[in-house]
Amino acid sequence: PEPPHREAPSPRMLSRFWVALIRLWCCSITSEGCGHLSTVLRQGSSLTQLDLGLNHVGVPGLKALCEALKAPQCGLQRLWLWGCSLPPFSCQDLSYALSCNRSLVTLDLGQNSLGFHGVKMLCDALRLQNCPLQTLRLKIEESDTDIQNLLREIKESNPRLAIDGSRRDPQRHRPSADDFLF
C-alpha cells in the first residue's frame, strides 16, 4: 500500500523549536514540502541534518533546496537524497550550490541515475578548494570507465573527499534520535 501523503513541517512551526535533525525517509515529500524546508534553512534554523530519502522531491524541490544551500545562513551539514529520482541535469543546480555552500559535509545522491554528465557537473564543484564536502554517495556503474576515471581524478585533487558507490540502503549510516542527547 502507498504511504499516506504527508506535508513537510511548515517554516513557522519549525522556527519555534531547536531542531537539528529531520528524518523524512519515504514520507511522500514533494517539491512543495521542499519549498517549506528551503525557507526554514534560509532563515538560519538549527537544522543540520535533513533526510529526504525515497521521496519524489522533483526538480523544483531540488532547486528550492539548492537555493537554501547557497544562503549564508544555511547551516545544513548533511543532506540525504537517496533514491529521489533526480535527473542528470539537476546536478547543475547542485554543483552551483556546492560551490557556494560552506557547511555541507555529507551529500547522499545514491540510487539516482545521474550519468556521466551529471557526475561531471558535480565534480566541477568538488575540485574547488573551498568546497567543504567530505562524503559523497553516488550510484556508480562499475562498467562505466568514464565515470570511474572522473572520480579517480576528483579523489586525487581532493583527497579528503570520500566517495561511496555502494548500492545498499544507507539507513544504518544515518543518525537517529538515539544518537542525540537532549
Residue 84 pLDDT exceeds 70: yes
Count of the separate structural domains present in the chain:
1
- pLDDT in the model for residue 112: 96
Report yes or no on 2 lying in a domain: no
Report yes or no on 143 lying in a domain: yes
> Helix 145-157 vs helix 115-126: angle between axes, to the nearest 10 degrees?
10
Residue 175 pLDDT exceeds 80: no
The residue-averaged pLDDT of 125-144 equals: 90
- pLDDT in the model for residue 178: 44
Give the confidence band of 174 by pLDDT, cuts at 50, 70, 90. Answer: low
Give the confidence band of 118 by pLDDT, cuts at 50, 70, 90. Answer: very high
Nearest to 173 by CA among 48, 82, 37, 103: 82
Rounded to an integer, what distance in angstroms lies between the CA atom of residue 101 and that of residue 51?
A: 18
Name 80's bridge partners.
51, 108
Report yes or no on 105 lying in a domain: yes
The residue-averaged pLDDT of 72-100 equals: 97
Count CA within 13 A, CB hemisphere, residue 129: 0
Q: What's the whole-number average pLDDT of the chain? A: 86
- pLDDT in the model for residue 177: 43
Helix (H, G, I), strand (E, B) or coil at 23: strand
The residue-averaged pLDDT of 53-65 equals: 97
* CATH code for position 110: 3.80.10.10
Task: Pull the grid cell for residue 76.
Answer: 545544513
Give the confidence band of 165 by pLDDT, cuts at 50, 70, 90. Answer: confident
**What's the pTM value of the predicted model, to 2 decimals?**
0.84
The residue-averaged pLDDT of 59-65 equals: 98
The residue-averaged pLDDT of 38-43 equals: 94
- pLDDT in the model for residue 179: 44
Q: Which domain holds residue 111?
A: 28-158
- pLDDT in the model for residue 181: 37
Distance of CA 11 to the CA centre of its chain: 19
Report yes or no on 178 lying in a domain: no
Report yes or no on 53 lying in a domain: yes
Give the confidence band of 137 by pLDDT, cuts at 50, 70, 90. Answer: very high
From residue 35, how far is each of 15, 80, 110 by CA, in Å? 15, 16, 22
Residue 182 pLDDT exceeds 70: no
Rounded to an integer, what distance in angstroms lies between the CA atom of residue 32 and that of residue 73?
A: 21
Report yes or no on 182 lying in a domain: no
Residue 144 pLDDT exceeds 70: yes
The residue-averaged pLDDT of 1-24 equals: 63
